[in-house]
């Protein structure tokens, strides 16, 4: 990967993801000049003994305490109180607990912190910023436990775990090994930094943890939204669904951006499908296999039988016009012009989730190139007093990110829920439009098929829903009530990052189930077409339940109508899904075999999740769309 140049103004989420996954950073020379100017200004003000928050005063509820000229204890140490103040800030604030964040999250945190400090309003020295960039580029990844930030004053505790390694303390991962911070620096030929005026506060006061977690979550959610569209399209093909609900002119009447995007994506994925919008009467329904179900050796290898119910003449009164348009056979598809909501409303639901993601992305784009520490330094401002050049404000408050993440947090279970509903619809014989129960032949009554896959999806959806409560609505004051309203944005973003991973599991289960259903649907229709091609009306009529017939004339009319269905099937081309759906299905089948009989499914389920996690299905569909 090419180096990512940081200048404090042009970092994008995609650039951040590159750094998170290993790209090195370069610091813009022009920005470093602004950094140096702010650091020089602070040094000048300290020499003038000006009272400046976080430089010559304590922090938080200690802001009213001015630093003295020398230590009251241990006067022989020779250590500057200004240096001690910054070091103490870092070592006492690095108190997070829990499992460490992944290296990707920590690298993103470091990148964000470097970028915001490059704006030149934080007072950090050039050499300190360069040392942090060198640590990032060398692959030194501080150990940052996940629990400890309330999202104002920024992510103090987790960012202190970053900074403590920079000064030689704490712990870090280096070349996959967890070692002390000092040892990690030594192994990479780096040296600890001695902090100067305001540098501890500049390093640990900001929104980098919540922004890093949120940005990586959004990047993953974007991929999962495309994957969800693929899963929905495969399910629609498996249902031989109706495409009118996705038409461009339909969505022009309610043009929410995400909805329009999802509808267009579905049209692309389903392009070339001869299963979608198939005439109702051509779709047979499942019947259990029996030894005499088929008339040739090839067909006897099938795991199903098929059939239709014929609508008798006596049941057509008042519906003659309808049966001129549609043949009088009831198979797997009901004669209705609309599918259930979980199919028909995919653009509206997936699109709303996409809109939630895009709103968060807009907020994050602003935050990536914002200054989020405190106080803010304006070295070139025209002012009579230092308070007009070093201004205490609240940019560390994570509420803009927290509320954006709460929107996404609520959207994730919605996307998982509609996926589970489609999965359930596929395995339920009351709703799957003529497919076998739990997508298995089960002629002997011993097989469960994919029954319990739906249980797992339901459990995950419930878990996601129970975690969707916004953390941002519950502030707990800190720092002896000096910080009396906090955002909890770090928890919000951390939750979203974890929830996105679980969303991918639900989508993997739907894809696995939809692939099985698609095989059955296509095989059943094509088996009917094959039989129609080689059989006469009498032979084909064995697949049609005709009911009682009054006389030979009725039987003749019955056989004539059966032969019309037979001829239409015989003349039909091979039935297939959309080209992109077919590519996604093939990617699944390369790793998960179709299920003819019950077998251990733990490996299949794990592989289905992996195919989503590694974007295997997504990449296959995208490649087909780009051909």
Cα(332)–Cα(612) distance, rounded to whole angstroms? 30
Hey, what's the torsion of the CAs at 192, 198, 203, 207, to 10 degrees? 180
Q: Residue 489: inside a domain, yes or no?
A: yes
Last residue of a domain, one of 206, 230, 261: 206
Residue appearing with tokens 């059939």: 307
User: pLDDT tens digits, residue range 199-225?
Assistant: 999 999 999 999 999 999 999 999 999
21 shares its domain with 143: yes
Residue appearing with tokens 């239409």: 568
Contacts with 578 (C-beta within 8 Å, 6 or more apart), sequence order:
233, 237, 269, 270, 271, 272, 273, 276
User: pLDDT tens digits, residue range 409-461?
Assistant: 999 999 999 999 999 999 999 999 999 999 999 999 999 999 999 999 999 99
DSSP 27: E
88 shares its domain with 152: yes
190 shares its domain with 230: no
Residue 44: what pLDDT?
Answer: 87
26 shares its domain with 142: yes
Q: Residue 380: inside a domain, yes or no?
A: no
Helix (H, G, I), strand (E, B) or coil at 214: helix
* Alpha-carbon separation of residue 432 from 158, 329, 381 (angstroms): 49, 18, 70
Q: Residue 393: inside a domain, yes or no?
A: no
User: pLDDT tens digits, residue range 475-522?
Assistant: 999 888 878 899 999 999 999 999 999 999 999 999 999 999 999 999
On whether the CB atoms of residues 525 and 435 are closer than 8 A, the answer is no
On whether the CB atoms of residues 413 and 402 are closer than 8 A, the answer is no
User: pLDDT tens digits, residue range 8-50?
Assistant: 999 999 999 999 999 999 999 999 999 999 999 988 888 877 7
187 shares its domain with 286: no
190 shares its domain with 233: no
Parallel, antiparallel, or unpaired for β 544-545 and 305-310? parallel
Q: Residue 195: inside a domain, yes or no?
A: yes
Q: Which helix (H) or strand (E) holds 408?
A: helix 399-427
Last residue of a domain, one of 163, 180, 206: 206
**Residue of 53, 197, 280, 407 marked catalytic:** 53
For 129, other C-beta atoms within 10 Å of its C-beta total: 26
479 shares its domain with 344: yes
Q: Residue 566: inside a domain, yes or no?
A: yes
| pLDDT band, residue 56 (cuts 50/70/90) | confident
* Alpha-carbon separation of residue 30 from 118, 377, 410 (angstroms): 9, 18, 42
- Domain housing 329: 219-358+407-626
Residue 68: what pLDDT?
Answer: 64
Last residue of a domain, one of 176, 206, 236: 206
Long-range contacts of 602-605 (CB under 8 A, 24+ apart): 604/512, 605/453, 605/456, 605/508, 605/509, 605/512
How far is the first Cα of the chain from the last one, in angstroms, to the nearest whole number? 26
The total domain count for the chain is 2
For 429, other C-beta atoms within 10 Å of its C-beta total: 14
Q: Which helix (H) or strand (E) holds 250?
A: helix 248-251
432 shares its domain with 292: yes
Cα(479)–Cα(93) distance, rounded to whole angstroms? 12
Q: Residue 369: inside a domain, yes or no?
A: no
Q: Residue 559: inside a domain, yes or no?
A: yes
585 shares its domain with 472: yes
Q: Residue 399: inside a domain, yes or no?
A: no
CATH code for the domain in which residue 337 is found? 1.20.200.10
Is the model more confident about 72 or about 263? 263
Question: How many helices (H) and strands (E) would you count in the chain?
Answer: 23, 13
Would you call 341 a catalytic residue per the annotation?
A: no
Residue 183: what pLDDT?
Answer: 98
pLDDT above 60 (res 77): no
230 shares its domain with 190: no
98 shares its domain with 119: yes
| pLDDT band, residue 72 (cuts 50/70/90) | low
CATH code for the domain in which residue 173 is found? 1.10.275.10
325 shares its domain with 272: yes
For 104, other C-beta atoms within 10 Å of its C-beta total: 18
* Residues facing residue 145 across a β-bridge: 100
Range scoring the smallest mean pLDDT among 280-289, 337-346, 376-385? 376-385
Contacts with 332 (C-beta within 8 Å, 6 or more apart), sequence order:
240, 283, 284, 285, 286, 433, 434, 435, 521, 524
């Amino acid at each position: 990967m090419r180096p990512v140049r940081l200048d404090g103004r042009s970092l994008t989420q995609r650039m951040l993801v590159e750094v998170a996954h290993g790209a090195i950073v370069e610091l813009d020379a022009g920005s470093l000049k602004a950094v140096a100017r702010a650091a020089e200004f602070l040094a000048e003000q300290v020499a003038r003994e000006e009272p400046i928050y976080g430089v010559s005063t304590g922090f938080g509820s200690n802001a009213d305490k001015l630093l003295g000229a020398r230590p009251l204890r241990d006067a022989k140490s020779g250590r500057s109180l200004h240096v001690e103040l910054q070091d103490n800030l870092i070592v006492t604030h690095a108190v997070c607990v829990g499992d460490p964040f992944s290296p990707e999250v920590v690298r993103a945190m470091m990148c964000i912190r470097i970028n915001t400090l490059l704006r030149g309003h934080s007072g950090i020295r050039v050499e300190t910023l360069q040392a942090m960039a060198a640590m990032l580029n060398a692959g030194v990844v501080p150990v940052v436990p996940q629990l400890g930030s309330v999202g104002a004053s920024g992510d103090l505790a987790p960012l202190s775990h970053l900074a403590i390694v920079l000064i030689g303390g704490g712990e870090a991962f280096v070349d996959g090994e967890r070692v002390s911070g000092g040892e990690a620096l030594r192994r990479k030929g780096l040296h600890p930094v001695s902090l100067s005026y305001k540098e501890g506060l500049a390093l640990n006061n900001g929104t980098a943890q919540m922004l890093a977690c949120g940005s990586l979550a959004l990047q993953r959610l974007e991929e999962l939204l495309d994957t969800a569209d693929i899963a929905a399209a495969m399910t629609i093909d498996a249902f031989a669904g109706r495409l009118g609900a996705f038409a461009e002119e339909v969505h022009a009447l309610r043009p929410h951006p995400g909805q329009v995007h999802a509808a267009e994506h579905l049209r692309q994925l389903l392009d070339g499908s001869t299963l979608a919008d198939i005439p109702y009467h051509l779709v047979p329904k499942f019947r259990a296999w029996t030894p005499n179900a088929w008339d040739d050796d090839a067909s006897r290898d099938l795991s199903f039988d098929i059939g239709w119910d014929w609508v008798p003449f006596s049941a057509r009164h008042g519906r003659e016009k309808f049966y001129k348009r549609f043949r009088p056979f009831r198979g797997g598809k009901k004669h209705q012009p609309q599918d259930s909501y979980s199919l028909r409303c995919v653009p509206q639901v997936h699109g709303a989730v996409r809109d939630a993601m895009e709103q968060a992305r807009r907020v994050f784009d602003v935050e990536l190139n914002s200054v989020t520490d405190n106080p803010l330094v304006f070295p070139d401002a025209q002012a009579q007093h230092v308070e007009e050049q070093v201004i205490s404000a609240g940019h560390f408050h994570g509420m803009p990110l927290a509320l954006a993440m709460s929107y996404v947090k609520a959207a994730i279970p919605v996307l998982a829920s509609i996926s589970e509903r489609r999965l359930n619809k596929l395995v339920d014989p009351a709703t799957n439009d003529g497919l076998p129960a739990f997508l298995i032949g089960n002629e002997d009554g011993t097989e469960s098929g994919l029954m319990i896959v739906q249980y797992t999806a339901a459990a995950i959806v419930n878990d996601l829903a129970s975690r969707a409560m916004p953390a941002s609505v519950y502030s707990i004051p800190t720092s002896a009530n000096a910080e009396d309203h906090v955002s909890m944005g770090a928890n919000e973003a951390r939750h979203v990052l974890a929830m996105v991973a679980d969303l991918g599991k639900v989508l993997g289960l739907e894809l696995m189930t939809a692939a099985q259903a698609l095989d059955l649907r296509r095989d059943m229709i094509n088996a009917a077409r094959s039989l129609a091609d080689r059989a006469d009306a009498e032979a084909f009529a064995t697949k049609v339940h005709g009911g009682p017939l009054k006389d030979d004339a009725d039987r003749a009319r019955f056989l004539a109508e059966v032969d019309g269905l037979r001829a239409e099937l015989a003349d039909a081309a091979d039935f297939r899904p959309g080209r992109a759906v077919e590519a996604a299905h093939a990617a699944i089948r390369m790793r998960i075999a179709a299920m003819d009989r019950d077998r251990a499914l733990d490996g299949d389920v794990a592989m289905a999740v992996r195919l989503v996690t590694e974007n295997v299905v997504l990449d296959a569909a995208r490649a087909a769309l780009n051909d």
